[in-house]
């Protein structure tokens, strides 16, 4: 038997490397900054507030929280449609600090897709709606709107800037889409029990536009895509013939949020296109798959229940309640 000395083994290795190089097989050192290999199943993390969790769809998973996560909301529908794994962290009532403190831990270097919907609660939009829904002699709608708009202009930009920086740090390779808010009103109040004037509805819609403008500016500055639902929801506001947003509802917490058609026909194609460049209509199979995922979503989110308990929902309240 022939014994190879270390020198001979070294020569053999060098010969092999030379042969590989000659054949076009380069030996390349690993790039520590390169993105990790794509997972077999893309991972999707949904961050944000009630407009992402699904408040307004009237059906929520039993995850031991008050987050009102729904399998009829666009994050669940999107994951079912695309075959993605979903970590559904969006929670009703969440403000920017809540997203930072309780939701960002779901992100990692292997996260493929992220959606973020937040800012409305920070501006106190539910309180503004409550104030404006009361009769003129019982509330001060203009003052409430002025305060909300001042907050959006002065304080919200910095809060969003810091949040988006943290999202990018935690999910450096993810496609991130920041999702905006629709205009709620169409100029007519058809709900008995609310007193929105046409002028107040115009100013409330202008506040939604301002919120979207500020959010878009901060999102695009970070390199994220902004998905603006304004055009898609036009003709589907509260009191429109085919409304994608609830008016005054029972329970009242469902009020002034997207309903099931709003998520399926409004947000799903909008967000799907923003994330991947393509969209497709919701099918019965996709809806069934999404609804069937409820137990899995609930089991996963129970693991976050303690931190989610820090979030206090701030829903619309019935006009004149407590006055």
C-alpha separations of 138 from 131, 133, 195 in Å: 8, 10, 10
Nearest Cα to Cα of residue 68 among 282, 257, 296, 285: 257
pLDDT score of 9: 40
Check if the beta carbon of residue 82 is closer than 8 Å to that of residue 268: no
Separation between Cα atoms, residue 184 and residue 256, nearest integer Å: 7
Alpha-carbon span 11 to 8, nearest angstrom: 5
User: Is there a catalytic annotation at residue 50?
Assistant: yes
> Has 236 been annotated as catalytic?
no
pLDDT tens across the length of the chain (323 residues): 444 444 444 344 334 433 433 333 433 344 444 555 555 899 999 999 999 999 999 999 999 999 999 999 999 999 999 999 999 999 999 999 999 999 999 999 999 999 999 999 999 999 999 999 999 888 899 999 999 999 999 999 999 999 999 999 999 999 999 999 999 999 989 988 899 999 999 999 999 999 999 999 999 999 999 999 999 999 999 999 999 999 999 999 999 999 999 999 999 999 999 999 998 899 999 999 999 999 999 999 999 999 999 998 877 877 755 44
pLDDT on residue 37: 55
Number of domains in the chain: 1
H or E element in which residue 11 lies: helix 6-22
CATH number at residue 199: 3.40.50.1110
127-170 per-position pLDDT tens digit: 999 999 999 888 899 999 999 999 999 999 999 999 999 999 99
- Cα-to-chain-centroid distance, residue 298: 18
The DSSP letter of residue 258 is B
In a domain, 313, yes or no: no
* pTM for this model (two decimals): 0.87
Q: What percent of the chain has pLDDT over 70?
A: 86
Q: Are 181 and 218 in contact (CB under 8 A)?
A: no
Alpha carbon distance 57, 51 (integer Å): 10
How high is the pLDDT of residue 15? Answer: 43
Q: Three-state SS string across 121-189, please?
A: CCCCHHHHHHHHHCCCCCCCHHHHHHHHHHHHHHCHHHHHHHHHHHHHHHCCCCEEEEECCCCCCCCCC
* 22 inside domain: no
For residue 168, being part of any structural domain is answered with yes
The one catalytic residue in 50, 92, 159, 253 is 50
- Of 68, 171, 47, nearest to 118 by C-alpha is 47
H helix or E strand, kind and range, residue 14: helix 6-22
In a domain? residue 90: yes
pLDDT of residue 206: 98
Domain region containing 150 = 40-308
* Beta-bridge partner residues of 114: 45, 176
What 8-state DSSP symbol labels residue 104? G
Ordered alpha helix ranges (H), the chain: 6-22, 50-53, 74-82, 96-98, 125-133, 141-154, 156-170, 198-221, 230-233, 260-261, 268-276, 284-292, 294-302, 305-308
Annotated catalytic residue within 70, 117, 257, 293: 257
Q: Is 206 part of any domain?
A: yes
Q: State residue 2's pLDDT score.
A: 44
Q: Is residue 200 part of a domain?
A: yes
DSSP state letter for 240: S
| 158 part of a folded domain | yes
Residue 235 lies in a domain: yes
pLDDT tens sequence across 87-117? 999 999 999 999 999 999 999 999 999 999 9
Model pLDDT, residue 89: 99
């Amino acid at each position: 038997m022939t014994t190879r000395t270390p020198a001979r083994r070294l020569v053999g290795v060098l010969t092999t490397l030379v042969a590989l190089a000659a054949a076009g097989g380069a030996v390349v050192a690993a790039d520590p900054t390169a993105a990790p290999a794509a997972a077999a199943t893309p991972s999707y993390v949904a961050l944000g507030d009630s407009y992402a969790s699904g408040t307004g769809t009237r059906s929520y998973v039993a995850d031991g929280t008050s987050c009102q996560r729904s399998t009829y909301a666009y994050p669940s529908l999107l994951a079912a449609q695309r075959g993605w794994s979903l970590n559904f962290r969006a929670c009703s009532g969440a403000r920017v600090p809540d997203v930072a403190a309780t939701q960002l831990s779901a992100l990692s270097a292997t996260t493929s897709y992220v959606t973020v919907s937040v800012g409305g609660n920070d501006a106190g939009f539910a309180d503004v709606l409550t104030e404006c829904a009361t009769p003129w002699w019982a509330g001060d709608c203009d003052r409430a709107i002025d305060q909300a708009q001042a907050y959006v202009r002065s304080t919200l930009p910095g809060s969003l800037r810091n949040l988006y920086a943290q999202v990018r740090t935690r999910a450096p390779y993810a496609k991130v889409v920041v999702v905006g808010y629709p205009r709620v009103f169409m100029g007519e109040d058809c709900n008995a029990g609310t007193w929105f004037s046409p002028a107040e509805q115009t100013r409330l819609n202008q506040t939604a536009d301002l919120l979207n403008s500020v959010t878009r500016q901060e999102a695009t500055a970070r390199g994220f895509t902004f998905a603006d639902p304004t055009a898609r929801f036009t003709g589907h506001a509260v009191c429109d013939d085919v409304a994608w947003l609830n008016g005054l509802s029972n329970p009242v917490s469902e009020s002034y949020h997207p309903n099931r058609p709003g998520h399926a026909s409004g947000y799903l194609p909008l967000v799907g296109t923003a994330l991947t460049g393509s969209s497709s209509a919701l099918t019965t199979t996709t809806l069934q798959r999404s609804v069937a995922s409820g137990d899995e979503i609930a089991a996963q989110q129970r693991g976050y229940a303690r931190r989610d308990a820090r979030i206090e929902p701030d829903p619309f309240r019935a006009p004149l309640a407590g006055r």
